[in-house]
Amino acid sequence: IDDFKRPDRIVIGAEVEWAKEVMSEIYRPLFLNQSPILFTGRRTAELIKYAANAFLATKITFINEIADLCENVGADVQEVSRGIGLDNRIGAKFLHAGPGYGGSCFPKDTLALLKTAQDNESPVRIVEAVVQVNDQRKRAMGRKVIQALGGEARDKKIALLGLTFKPNTDDMRDAPAIAIAQTLNDAGAQVVAYDPEGMAVASEIMPDVEMTESSYDAAKDADAVVIVTEWDAFRALDLEQLKATMAGDVLVDLRNIYHPADVAKTGLRYTSIGRNA
């Protein structure tokens, strides 16, 4: 609702004058709030929508690949993100490294743009690479967890904290947690999970994952805990209590919520994204 009432811009595809007049009247209250209205043709409006989401998906995928490079060269992806995001030509939004994008918009719109481009014999190679890299990244995050466990996950209990593709929703569409859990199940691990909102939907999609009542219930006797979605509840975990609950000592933070030095004080072995931790 807030996004609807305070948009950056309103794009309307219309081909006839009377339609423009009707839509102008409908959106007049928002225009008074200084949200610019851009009238275009219908095909242009559709491409604006697809191109905008494909560009944001590209930013996410770009910083995720830079995160991998940071791990290999000893750099810090959060500092890299801040350094490039302060450039006004680039901007700071959508430069947070993580396990890949999901949800209802980015996967659908990038694929729609690819299909439109293919149908019109005008390939968009960058977007093709974005879709491919993002799909591969989700399962790579499962392998990252296995690596943090020493390369073997068989018969290990692994707790996933967060299942939805982002916080404050129950949306599980193309959520990275799905591929991560599948990778861990395929490796012989027992996977349990907790999510503040998404477990009802997730239980139908992920029948091999046991749902629990809280973060600490999920962590009970776990060999590793994995933060998948950056819910506020996971930003304030009692890490000492978490470690006391676990059987192992591995914490994999796929959202870089915690500072490595703070986690180290608890005795947990910490793995994050794009940092030497």
Cβ contact 237:246 at 8 Å: no
Closest CA to 238 of 213, 265, 212: 265
Cβ contact 131:110 at 8 Å: yes
- Alpha helix locations (H) across the chain? 2-5, 17-26, 28-32, 42-73, 77-85, 106-119, 125-148, 176-186, 199-205, 215-219, 232-235, 239-245, 260-264
Active site residue 105: yes
Active-site residue among 23, 105, 133, 211? 105
| Spatial distance between the Cα atoms of 137 and 97, rounded to a whole number of angstroms | 11
Three-state secondary-structure class, residue 115: helix
Place of tokens 């995050």: 141
DSSP H or E run through 211: strand 210-211
| Spatial distance between the Cα atoms of 140 and 273, rounded to a whole number of angstroms | 12
| Beta-carbon count within 10 A of 218 CB | 25
Closest CA to 242 of 230, 259, 226, 261: 226
- What is the 3-state secondary structure of 65-77? HHHHHHHHHCCCH
Residues identified as active-site: 105
